[in-house]
Structure 1
Amino acid sequence: AINYSPTINFKYTFSKQTTLKINYRGRTAQPGMTDLYRKKDISDPLNIRLANPELKPSFNNNISATFNTYFTETSRSLNANLSYNNTMNSTTRIVTYDENTGGQTTQPTNVNGNWRINGSLTFSTPLSNKKFTVNTHTNTNYGNSVGFTVLNKESDAVKSNTTNLFLSERLKGSYRSDLIDFELSAEVRYRKSEHSIKKEHRRETFDYTFGTEANLNLPWDIKISSNINCRLKRGYGGKNDTNRTLWNAQISKSFLKKKKATVRFHLYDILGENESSERSVSENSITVRESSTSNVYFMAYIAYRFNTFGQKRKRQSVQN
């Protein structure tokens, strides 16, 4: 089998502050040996696995473009990214269910039609006095995956498509001074998944996050910081539609010569409401991953900063 991975990189510099990059990469992937030549596996009568010696190598195409620009006079910056990915002859699995025994038979096969598009846009600008900064980040992801859906051994496998759409928008404003750093942020995330055959797999969810963070610089090299994030989940159904607040706080003090040592005390999840969940939809299933760590915990540690590189340069200067 021959593997090849063509790569093309292009960069155009409009000015010192503005550039455009375009990259392409292709990649071959050979099917696994067990998928090609495995004997019929009946060790588990409820999960029979077959091989497919007719499997073809898959080939992945990825093309991406990045545009960056910076406005020196206003200190504004803009970053845009766009990418497209598709795979020819992807390997997927035909799953045939037996309604009488409850078992299934699985066999790999090649399909076309798996692709994904990603795009993002980030813009940042200071306000008139430059102590205030506003930035926004927009992100989108849309993709299609191909599989096969069957109900029983008497029916033929039917090709099915699962589409996933993701959109997000984050807005953040910050203030910086010698005494205090302060930040406000808001983000909304939208996900939509649809299955061409199993309409019950359709899902549409919203995630909202509102947060604030503050860092206070006090005399005697003492710093206090705290952040609070409120998370609202909608469209997950029942008890999964939640409102959670995550609050962390920290105090630190630097000491010794040149403030090389720092002691920190950090308190995590003060309200005990931390949790996370992730939902994904494939051709034949819906997977929900949830985790909850509703325990307040405390950490204390000391950090010391070594500067051996600077000492080495100093010794070299003395020798010269």
Structure 2
Amino acid sequence: MAPEHTSGDELARFLRARRTQTSPESVGLTPGPGVRRTPGLRREELATIAGVSIDYYTRIERGKETRPSPAVVDALARALRLDDDEHHHLRELAARAARYAPEPPPPPSRTVRPHLKLLLETMRPSPAYIVSRSMDLLAWNPGGLALYAGLADWPATQRNLARYLFLHPAARELFPDWSTQVRACVARLRTEAGTNPDAPDLTKLVGELLLKSSDFARLWERYEVVGHKKPQKTFHHPQIGVLTLSGQSMQLEGTPGQRLGAYTAEPGTPDHDAMLLLDMTTPHPDRPRTQPDTQRPPTP
């Protein structure tokens, strides 16, 4: 079941989520006596702080007003204490709501250019891969696939890093900070879906995860667009052991939203040795094994 969108929906959802997660105390208000039935700020409280009428703000949050001025958008961002990334996201949502087009864009090509595949090979032994905007795994070098334990068991068309984090049984064991990893993952998808809410590849993935993962559904409703990324990531790999790698992700120019992900370790360290072992004991993705590989540790 894919989520439905109309003009102003994403703008309204973001504002509503942020309002309900903003406490009165955090914006300098003193809650009155009694139990508040509304989590976070009330609409009238936010409107007052932002300096807009309650009726106008209510229409924005209900998706009826899709052309708030930049001054109003900035005032709402200040009232909600948004950081720079969240403020930028709010501006993008407002701009999109004003120029909303009902026709969904076509899905981006999954084709990876040959020179980018060659780049992945030249990066060995560093694990590296290329993903689509919806986190589909499109190309990889041996370590890039093997690093995500058990992902190779899925058909190539089903290999998606978000799907892996929430639905693969090995993911929670692989990442000791699984909760941090999934929050960053959902934040990335939320940011992408906010500016491309009708993109078929995104809506299909989000619909699947909403249906199959209660953890994803809970995080999706929070509407966080800033993940808590760490410069290093630790893996409890069932074959290689524990290794901590520095990760980097970057947009690939001239592609339909494809990104390169890569991990490195300082030469001469145990982590680098483990990375070398991961690369050497993994079959090349373009050369499937026809006989058992005696050098590869048995799968648990």
Q: Which has the higher contact order (CA 8 A, sep 6+)?
A: 2
Normalised TM-score (structure 1): 0.19
Between structure 1 and structure 2, the one with the greater Rg is 1
More strand by share: 1
Bigger helix share: 2
